[in-house]
Structure 1
Amino acid sequence: MSKRDYYEVLGVAKGVDEKELKKAYRRIAMKCHPDRNPGDAEAEEQFKEASEAYEVLSDSRKRSAYDQYGHAGVDGAAGGGGYGGGNGNFSDIFGDVFGDIFGGGGGGRRGGPARGSDLRYTLDLGLEEAVKGTSVKIKVPTLVSCKPCSGSGAKPGTQPKTCSTCGGVGQVRMQQGFFQVQQTCPTCRGKGKEIGDPCGSCHGQGRVEETKTLSVKVPPGVDTGDRIRLSGEGEAGTDGGPAGDLYVQVSVNEHEFFQRDGKNLYCEVPISIFDACLGGELEVPTLDGRVKLKVPAETQTGKLFRLRGKGVTPVRGGSAGDLLCRVVLETPVSLTGKQKELLQELKGSMEGTKHSPKQSSWFEGMKNFFGDMKL
């Protein structure tokens, strides 16, 4: 049976560039690969045909001969059937095209030194500590390099040997259908080395568990969600690789008086009916101590007073925020009979006058809403 035109097999035009050629081959190979179509003779034949076509057209010398003389110009040069032979171009495509099938790819050794994992530690702070900054000691369980073997995993006085299975590469070639793919060496698990006499402390792992005590300097102005990075304080690397980092995640606890919103602080200040009516001076708390707050006469509950610069200086710089105090009118309780009489007398003296502007406007609004209904 005569062979089909190679360009037709891959579904590309004669002047196709290398990138589009590879993309076309990849599409067919992924669809028709025998390992994805077990027992399908037609798919296997299509895969062989596409592989042969790609082997020829991906090689500039073979492609030139094919363009001039057709199949006669490349007979016997297509690797004995179009899969597995030929030059480096064709073998290199396996890693690019089939890496996602077999998890291998054309990459090199997977072993060797590897960076240790990063760690995270949640640090609970009080509001004062977060605003003013502090220094704390923390204990972190982690993996550290084994001291007796210096992290090699081999018994002191001995050294790991080159893996006899992979020759130190960390990978072995395995036959998968019509071609070879690389897989992690099962003997050394990708490290490229074997430990004949393991270290008694780490049992050949090169790392041991340990709880480290670290000092963390917390800068002023941090807030919940901020992270402090301690370089090199994560897990130790393997085979001499660098250690990971430790990320200290800040969590600020709720405060008895203050709520934080960015660089501003908020608090509620109870105020008596007398101070609200007559005005006065209140003592309010700040993170720097108590300060005096002047309240004008006829102050209504919910009124906000701003104390500038009494908030938080942001950790990334800038001016300090403010403290906003909301006064809350407190109703007297446990009144004596005499006190109740005085209040009744005061109430009577205020009837018919507009001493409660909000209440008056509210009742007027209600009347309009219900169409002047008698309440």
Structure 2
Amino acid sequence: MADHYETLGVSREASLEEIKKSYRKLARQLHPDVNPSEEAAERFKDVTHAYDVLSDPEQRQRYDMGGGQAGGMGGFGDIFETFFGGGGFGGASRGPRSRHERGEDALIRVDVKLEEVVFGVQREVSINTAVLCGTCEGSGCQPGTHPVNCDVCRGQGQVQREVRSLFGNVVTMHPCGSCQGYGSVIETPCTQCAGKGRVRERRSLKVDIPSGIDTGTRMQMRGGGEVGPFGGPNGDLFIEFRVEHDDTFSRDGNDLLSTIKVSMTDAILGTEVELDSLDGKVSVEIPAGTQPGDLISIKGRGIQGLRTNTRGDLKIAMQVVTPTKLSGKERALIEQLAQLRSDDAPHFGEFKQSFFGKLRDRFFG
């Protein structure tokens, strides 16, 4: 069998573009519609087979390594396709395939603050994606030009191939190698998009971030992804969120958790304070006799749920601070209080749990 490179008239170092160019030139000369001779028909089959092998990187590599009939009937899959695929046995042609394909989906990750999770927020995000080429408006052609019918397949997008087999001669339909099955050729590609009908561009879009999201939550925006080749429909955009760490508040589901440092005297006497929460001022009443680890729950000041209109609670644990340095007057007053109280001396009590275990159970138990 003739060498595939010799059949196409190219060197072994020929690029894919050189191979394609040579095939198109030979196919125009040898196609049965142009040259009905038997010799031309045989050469056309050889040229097409050589192109099928050398235009595929894997098959070309196997062929260069001595694979012989690379790309031929090398396995059951090839035999099956030869006999039954692509309109075999004179089956109906599928016609040229469309250049318009759906664009790829896109994924971006967005960091949000915990305060933005409480009610949700609208944010403007930036994404580097494929958009419709403004020069050719998706056609892929230089303005003023248009695709022309492929002169190899005559606009059908497919060519017939006759294969000798144990069952006789079988005629199958295969995508045209000259136009890649489109049925037309863009002879003057758009210089802006290199004939693809789309270009890459950074664009901004507004995103309504719902309340209640958490790290790992994904939101799908249909049609927000990349535009397809030659103006095909857009893919989808997926936005994955990451909630940033907050130094004051953490969350448990839709509840917000925090702590308050309370002085010893406020814990004894009780007091009311106004503090800044994630969504404004909140009034906290600390009852007299507050103990370390006591929990105060404020209804409806947590996070609004992702799929509900109700809010969680704000849960605050008391951290009673014992002074480490006292003035002389302060020490005298404390000693006087100790005499008045006449409490029992320190002693071992029943072991239940540590302060931190108690606090954990109050928060999460």
* Residue in structure 2 matched with residue 127 of structure 1 by the alignment: 114
- SS at 1:131's partner residue? helix
Post-superposition shift, 1:288? 3.1
Post-superposition shift, 1:116? 0.5
Structure 2 counterpart of 1:303, one-letter code: D
Given the alignment, which residue of 217, 224, 243 partners 2:215?
224
Structure 2 counterpart of 1:317, one-letter code: T
Q: What is the count of residue pairs matched by the alignment?
A: 271
TM-score (norm 2): 0.61
* Residue in structure 1 matched with residue 285 of structure 2 by the alignment: 294
Q: State how far apart, in whole Å, the 2-side matches of 1:111 and 1:267 are.
A: 59
Q: Does 1:361 align with 2:350?
A: yes
Post-superposition shift, 1:163? 3.4
Residues 198 and 230 of structure 2 are in contact (CA less than 8 Å); yes or no, is this contact kept in structure 1?
Answer: no
More deviation, 129-138/175-184? 175-184
Structure 2 CA distance for partners of 1:329 and 1:245, relative to 1, 3 Å: same
Q: Does 1:139 align with 2:94?
A: no
Q: State how far apart, in whole Å, the 2-side matches of 1:328 and 1:175 are.
A: 87
Residues 110 and 171 of structure 1 are in contact (CA less than 8 Å); yes or no, is this contact kept in structure 2?
Answer: no
Structural mapping, 1:118-267, within 5 Å = 118-168=105-155, 170=157, 178=165, 185-267=176-258
Q: State how far apart, in whole Å, the 1-side matches of 2:268 and 2:350 are.
A: 19
Q: State how far apart, in whole Å, the 2-side matches of 1:305 and 1:232 are.
A: 47
More deviation, 239-248/179-188? 179-188
* Residue in structure 2 matched with residue 114 of structure 1 by the alignment: 101
TM-score (norm 1): 0.60
- SS at 2:230's partner residue? coil
Q: State how far apart, in whole Å, the 2-side matches of 1:262 and 1:342 are.
A: 45
Q: State how far apart, in whole Å, the 2-side matches of 1:314 and 1:246 are.
A: 23
Structure 1 counterpart of 2:351, one-letter code: W
- Which of the two has greater helix per residue? 1
Structure 2 CA distance for partners of 1:171 and 1:345, relative to 1, 3 Å: farther
Structure 1 counterpart of 2:304, one-letter code: T
Post-superposition shift, 1:321? 0.9
Identity of aligned residues (%): 37
Post-superposition shift, 1:361? 2.1
* Residue in structure 2 matched with residue 324 of structure 1 by the alignment: 315
Residues 161 and 194 of structure 1 are in contact (CA less than 8 Å); yes or no, is this contact kept in structure 2?
Answer: yes
Unaligned runs of 5+ in 1: 1-37, 48-82, 85-89, 96-105, 364-375
Unaligned runs of 5+ in 2: 1-66, 87-92, 353-365
Given the alignment, which residue of 307, 324, 345 partners 1:333?
324
Q: State how far apart, in whole Å, the 1-side matches of 2:94 and 2:102 are.
A: 19
Residues 267 and 326 of structure 1 are in contact (CA less than 8 Å); yes or no, is this contact kept in structure 2?
Answer: yes
Structural mapping, 1:276-295, within 5 Å = 276-295=267-286
Post-superposition shift, 1:187? 3.6
